[in-house]
């Protein structure tokens, strides 16, 4: 049995025109092309902030711990 825990504080959604899709994630190295199981992907704080910025989020208002 596998257990994966993702903890997020929902502060809104990216909204129309700010979608971060699978193609963008893959092209920017945030998704593994080799077929690695997605739960084994670990993002740094900088990578996570990059995804949020792509979604139009002001990352200065986000606490990443």
Q: What is the pLDDT along the chain (65 residues), one digit of tens a residue?
A: 666 555 555 555 676 777 787 788 888 888 766 666 666 777 888 888 898 888 888 888 777 77
Domain around 18? 13-30+40-65
| Residue 1: inside a domain | no
Q: 3-state DSSP helix/strand/coil percent for the chain, to nearest 5?
A: 35, 0, 65
Return the pLDDT at 5.
59
Return the pLDDT at 56.
86
What is the tally of structural domains in the chain? 1
| Residue 17: inside a domain | yes
| Residue 8: inside a domain | no
| Residue 20: inside a domain | yes
User: pTM of the prediction?
Assistant: 0.66
| Residue 45: inside a domain | yes
The sign of the dihedral angle between the CA atoms of 35, 38, 44, 50 is positive
| Residue 22: inside a domain | yes
Dihedral, 28, 4, 11, 57 alpha carbons, nearest 10: -10
Return the pLDDT at 30.
80
According to DSSP H, which parts of 1-65 are helical? 22-27, 45-54
């Amino acid at each position: 049995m596998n257990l994966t825990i993702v903890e997020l504080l929902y502060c809104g959604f990216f909204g129309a025109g700010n979608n971060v899709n699978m193609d963008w994630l893959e092209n920017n190295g945030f998704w593994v092309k080799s077929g690695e199981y997605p739960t084994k992907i670990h993002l740094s704080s900088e990578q996570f902030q990059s995804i949020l910025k792509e979604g139009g989020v002001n990352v200065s208002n986000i606490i990443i711990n």
